[in-house]
Amino acid sequence: MNVAIYPGSFDPITNGHLDIIERSSRLFDRLIVAVLKNPNKKSLFTVEERIEMIKGAVSHIKNVEVDHFSGLLVDFARKKNAKIIVKGLRAVSDFEYELQMALMNKKLYGELETIFIMTNTKYSFLSSSIVKEVASLGGCVKDLVPPVVEEKLREKFKNK
Ligand code: PNS
């Protein structure tokens, strides 16, 4: 059975992430969306909120599950018996850091392969950070994030 992990901060999940999840779910038997729990990184949403939003957005895809991890991604991959990491690439600017991470992960866990999926062009400008900025300033993020996220963002920023 081919188990793949799609890791990230997902603070919050965007339609760009969802597009990568939908497309990669067709390539593997099981896809685990893994939310990084990093106490050193300031986030807008708690890990629990992020997981709940992802679950809401992927409920229509049968072979996708949502989990969280802390520490090294390779340790989580070993625990889950996964040998594939899926990453989305938006632009050449993403590549340098992604290459570095893929090579380091390979060094730490030789059987692990990182597979890159090119983002859909309609989401190539999208990131969680830019979505948060627009939402915090009262801009419309419909079509950029799943409806459950749009609602949560509105709630977060309603008194700002
Ligand atoms: O959505 P992000 O913030 O770009 O995701 C980055 C993530 C979570 C994939 C990356 O930071 C990661 O894998 N962190 C876990 C710690 C780790 O394994 N570090 C060594 C990777 S080379």
Task: Flag whether pLDDT at 11 surpasses 90.
Answer: yes
Average pLDDT over residues 70-97: 96
Summarised one tens digit per residue, pLDDT across range 105-148 is 999 999 999 999 999 999 999 999 999 999 999 999 999 999 99
Return the residue matching tokens 């106490």: 39
Question: CA-CA distance, 127 to 145, in Å (whole number)?
Answer: 10
Q: Would the CB of 8 count as within 6 Å of ligand 1? A: yes
Tell how far CA 53 is from the center of its chain: 11
8 A C-beta contact, residue 15 and residue 123: yes
Summarised one tens digit per residue, pLDDT across range 49-62 is 999 999 999 999 99
Structural domain containing residue 105: 3-157
Count of domains observed in the chain = 1
Going along 47-124, which residue ranges are E strands?
64-69, 84-89, 113-118
Q: Would the CB of 16 count as within 6 Å of ligand 1? A: no
Kindly report the CATH number assigned to the domain that includes residue 51.
3.40.50.620
Question: CA-CA distance, 127 to 17, in Å (whole number)?
Answer: 9
Q: Residue 124 is which amino acid? A: S
Atom of ligand 1 nearest to the CA of 128: 1
Q: Which one of 6, 70, 72, 79 would you pick to mutate in the ligand 1 pocket, going by the greatest count of ligand atoms within 8 A of its CB?
A: 72
DSSP 41: S
Catalytic residue at 90? yes
Residue tagged active-site, from 17, 50, 87, 132: 17
pLDDT value for 160:
66
Catalytic residue at 17? yes
Average pLDDT, the chain: 96
Residue tagged active-site, from 24, 25, 43, 128: 128
